[in-house]
């Protein structure tokens, strides 16, 4: 198994209503090659306020399930 040599992700946070809560509205997955389909699907479902998702160069990610009740705009 190869170790990932380069990956990146960007999380844009809104104002935090409490110290233990944050909301992710934009998620950019860039060159994340060791992410399973299940992990990606779970991540999107856990970010209930996610509006924008970009997946760029994630060669190991073959498919992903996104529930119809998400707030994704793009």
Residue 64 belongs to a domain? no
Which token pair is 31?
Answer: 């060159």
Query: Residue 38 is part of which domain span?
Result: 26-56
Whose CA is closest to 29, among 16, 45, 44, 15?
44
Q: Is 70 inside any structural domain?
A: no
Is position 3 within any domain?
A: no
Please count the structural domains in the chain. 1
What's the pLDDT tens digit per position in 9-52? 666 666 655 555 567 888 888 888 787 888 888 888 888 888 89
HEC letters along 41-64: HHHHHHCCCCCEEEEECCCCCCCC
pLDDT in tens, 36-45: 888 888 888 8
In this structure, is residue 9 part of a structural domain? Answer: no
Q: Report the C-alpha gap between 72 and 40 in whole angstroms.
A: 14
Is 50 contained in some domain? yes
Does 15 map to a domain? no
């Amino acid at each position: 198994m190869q170790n990932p040599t380069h990956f990146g992700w960007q999380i844009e946070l809104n104002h935090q209503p409490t110290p233990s809560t944050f909301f992710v509205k934009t998620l950019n997955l860039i060159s994340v090659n060791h992410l399973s389909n299940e992990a990606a699907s779970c991540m999107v479902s856990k970010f209930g306020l996610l509006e924008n998702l970009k997946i760029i160069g994630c060669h190991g990610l073959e498919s992903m399930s996104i529930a119809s009740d998400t707030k994704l705009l793009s």
